[in-house]
Amino acid sequence: MPPQLPWLEPEDSLPDPSTAWGAGSPAPGLLAAGGALDVAHLIAAYAQGTFPWFSADQPILWWAPDPRMVLKVAEFRLHRSLRKTLQRFRASMACEIRIDSAFSEVIRACSSTPRNGQSGTWIVPEMVLAYEALHAQGTAHSVETWVDGKLAGGLYCVAIARAVFGESMFAHATDASKIALAALVCICRHNGIELIDCQQNTSHLASLGAREMPRTEFMQHVQSQSARPPIPWEFEPVYWNELLKSPAPTA
């Protein structure tokens, strides 16, 4: 039997991530339930490597998985097909990457996209409002793929200084979300950020170079990067250069 799950009142702090349910439990990585989704609690949660994830019929659930899925930006796999897509994207005057110009549109589009093949969404209205507040405060960001003046895809993430936590992606056009992820990789590379948190292990993320990291190592990364100066959240087309000049994969 797993230990009793802590129930949090709105004013309570989160437990230590090391107390999250472990392998063999009904929900490995589950840390606590309840609490609040306000800006202060969300920032405190991410600063200790914890994130909320729950469905409409559940209370707020907080997670700190072990191991943690991360994408080291130096290991991002730019497959041949995506490389060609990015080259065409960069060359077209109709295509651009924008940062934080349509955060609400991005998160609401993500909320209609099921996660990991699930039938429902985990980005419930309460989560949308919470992350819109976090964006207004300057801690949540959107990376957006625009084609012909229309939002074609994108992602949103959380940044505690230089600790970057990927949240969700969507695409209205083929490869639009992958283009946004590649742009986020470029932003991180340009600013010396080593990895992007991916939260959970999926075959799609693994195909792009993400891999698992022990929670203790991940927490050390978060703590060190949270103490560094924040980066400017912006994208310049020249950022593509370093990614596109990297050697093509052999397979």
pLDDT given for residue 1 in this prediction: 63
Q: What is the pLDDT of residues 181-219, one digit of tens each?
A: 999 999 999 999 999 999 988 898 999 999 999 999 999
d(CA 186, CA 113): 25
pLDDT given for residue 188 in this prediction: 98
Q: CA distances (Å), 179 to each of 28, 95, 107, 153, in order?
A: 32, 11, 17, 8
Q: What is the pLDDT of residues 142-187, one digit of tens each?
A: 999 999 999 999 999 999 999 999 999 999 999 999 999 999 999 9
pLDDT given for residue 2 in this prediction: 66
Smallest CA-to-CA distance from 200 within 30, 86, 55 is with: 30
pLDDT given for residue 3 in this prediction: 77
Of 15-29, 69-83, 234-248, the poorest mean pLDDT is in 234-248
CA 33 from chain centre, in angstroms, equals 21
pLDDT given for residue 121 in this prediction: 63
- pTM of the predicted protein model: 0.94
d(CA 241, CA 181): 15
**What count of Cα atoms within 13 Å lies in the side-chain half-sphere of residue 165?**
28
- Asked whether the beta carbons of 57 and 90 are under 8 A apart, the reply is no
Is the model's pLDDT at 16 over the cut of 50?
A: yes
pLDDT given for residue 187 in this prediction: 98
- Averaged pLDDT, 17-32: 95
- Averaged pLDDT, 80-93: 96
- Asked whether the beta carbons of 55 and 120 are under 8 A apart, the reply is yes
d(CA 41, CA 182): 30
Q: What is the pLDDT of residues 89-135, one digit of tens each?
A: 999 999 999 999 999 999 999 998 765 444 446 799 999 999 999 99
Between the two ends of the chain, the Cα-to-Cα distance in Å is 45
Provide the CATH topology of domain 7-65.
Alpha-Beta Plaits (3.30.70)
pLDDT given for residue 112 in this prediction: 87
Helix H segments across the chain?
Answer: 39-47, 80-91, 103-111, 125-137, 176-190, 203-207, 215-226, 240-244
pLDDT given for residue 139 in this prediction: 98
pLDDT given for residue 39 in this prediction: 98
Q: Does domain 69-244 have CATH number 3.40.50.300?
A: no
Q: What is the pLDDT of residues 41-78, one digit of tens each?
A: 999 999 999 999 999 999 999 999 999 999 999 999 99
Domain spans, the chain: 7-65, 69-244
